[in-house]
Structure 1
Amino acid sequence: MGQKVSPIGLRVGIIRDWESRWYADKDYATFLHEDIKIRDFIFNKLKRADVSQIEIERKDGNRVNITIHTAKPGFVIGKGGADIERLRAEVKKLVNREVFIDIVEIKNPDLVARLVARRIADQLERRVSFRIAQKRAIQSTMRAGAKGIKTAVSGRLGGADMARTEGYSEGNVPLQTLRADIDYSHEEADTTYGKMGVKVWIYKGEILPTKKNNK
């Protein structure tokens, strides 16, 4: 019987790279907890900036390079770079190391699973129908050029007494094909009926190993 695994973790080292890139021996646990703290802090601080991914790289023990992927770079940078400098100082205080932050703009947010899932969750919190929210997301993503998308919403849908899961899909989402470029994310919505879970899978096409190696 097939088991459900994270499409991202399954493809790390094959067509995806690690989001944390560093080597540590005795400091492994320290660096791991620091990475978790950094990501939690930045995601909470930049909730409205449509941040999809935070990459962390360490060249040595006292220098942390952070790359923030966002659909709203101006919101993160601020006027004259004031906001990003303030963020850098706060992260530096959090981990007590030298911190450098780079910003990468997301050209097409409709192809990023985390942003699509967050958009569905935001609509659920505003009492939009879970069916309408999912269908809107699917239409936007397919128009943006995706090969396929699958969504699922779980919880007390429509205020029902018993929780259930309902989802929609369009196109192909080959979860077992390792060369398939599939983005996945899980978000939560706080509604009047309790927590609702939102899952999104987006298939963007295939990545061949030869192309990856040539890069």
Structure 2
Amino acid sequence: MSQKVNPIGFRVGVSQNWNTQMQCYQKTSLTYTLTVLKKLQIFSFFQRLLFKHNIILSKAEWLLKDGSIYCDLFYTKYEPLTRQPLLEISKKILKVLKYWITSPFVFRFYKIHWFSNPTTVSHWICYQLEKKQNIKWILLLLKKKKINYQKWNTEIKYDISGENAFLLKGIKIICSGRLRGRRNRMSSKTWKQVGVMPLQRLHGFVEYKKDNAYTRFGKIGVHVYYYYAKHLN
């Protein structure tokens, strides 16, 4: 059962928090449905705009409080990035958002390492598959990255009890599709796991991302799991 449900939705309210917090103690101009719709539209606009500059948007944390909207954007890039594209992107965002929403909007950019988040890892795997790289070579390279980047193992996460330090205990990657190319028309599945991955535990902090790679042999599904445990020290 643990692999047939979304691992994040399975733990929301028990051990993990929501990514969006809405505190409305006064009358608002928009209903809850329109507010969620606006948020999804803005996030989709952020993704398309950053992708044009070869920047991967990892996630966005939202806070609606006292009539203002606060958004923290976490991005990464596989090549060195200068500050000039971010300045241009910020100007475009402010120019477009003033026609969408009337509330004050505050956004901040945070750069993260591409291996520290399952979203960026899944994007990287899809990027390599679309470049016709072998899936075994990709998984072997990711295992070496996990060993080399030990400093990214400890991170600050927000769970149901507040802000805590978590230790990365395990990574699991599953790829399914026509991975063997033209030789076999049947789809196959391959996976790689480093560390532990107890998906049946409710009190474990799990990050999960599902993505698709579109190759000449068809669509390949990529699932990435990150399992964290509380750092006692």
Compute the TM-score of the two structures, normalised by the length of structure 2. Answer: 0.76
Alignment deviations for residues 62-87 of structure 1 (CA, whole Å, 9 cap, x no partner): x3221101235x95953683431322
Show structure 1 runs of 5+ residues with no match: none
Aligned length, in residue pairs: 206
Matched, 1:180 2:184: no
Alpha-carbon RMSD across the aligned residues, in angstroms, is: 2.7
Say if 2:55 and 2:75, in contact at 8 Å, map to a contact too.
yes
What's the CA shift for 1:124?
Answer: 0.2
Q: 1:36 is aligned with what amino acid? A: L
User: Higher relative CO (CA 8 A, sep ≥ 6), structure 1 or 2?
Assistant: 2
C-alpha displacement of 1:142: 4.0
2:130 is equivalent to residue 125 of structure 1 = yes
Offset from partner CA, 1:160-215 (integer Å, 9 cap, x none)? 3122322111210111223323221111111111221111112233368xx9xxxx
Q: What amino acid is aligned across from residue 168 of structure 1 in structure 2?
A: K
Query: Gaps spanning 5+ residues in structure 2: where?
Result: 151-167
Deviation at 1:120, TM superposition (A): 0.6
Contact conserved, 1:111 with 1:202, CA < 8 A, in 2?
no
Residues 1:143 and 2:143 aligned together: no
Partner of 2:64: 58
Show CA shifts across 1:53-106 (max 9, x none). 111221144x3221101235x959536834313223223334454321112232
Counterpart code for 2:43: R
Match of 1:109? 114
CA displacement at 1:2 relative to structure 2: 5.1
Give deviations 1:117-146, integer Å, cap 9, x for gaps: 111110000000112112222331343234
Contact 1:179 1:206 in 2 (8 A): no
Q: CA deviation at 1:110?
A: 1.2
The verdict on how the C-alpha distance between 1:8 and 1:188 changes in structure 2, with shifts beyond 3 A counting, is same
Where is the helix percentage greater, Structure 1 or Structure 2?
A: 1
Find the residue that maps to 2:89 and give its secondary structure. helix
Q: Map 1:156-167; keep pairs closer than 5 Å.
A: 156-159=178-181, 160-167=184-191
Give the percent of matched residue pairs that are identical in Structure 1 and Structure 2: 26
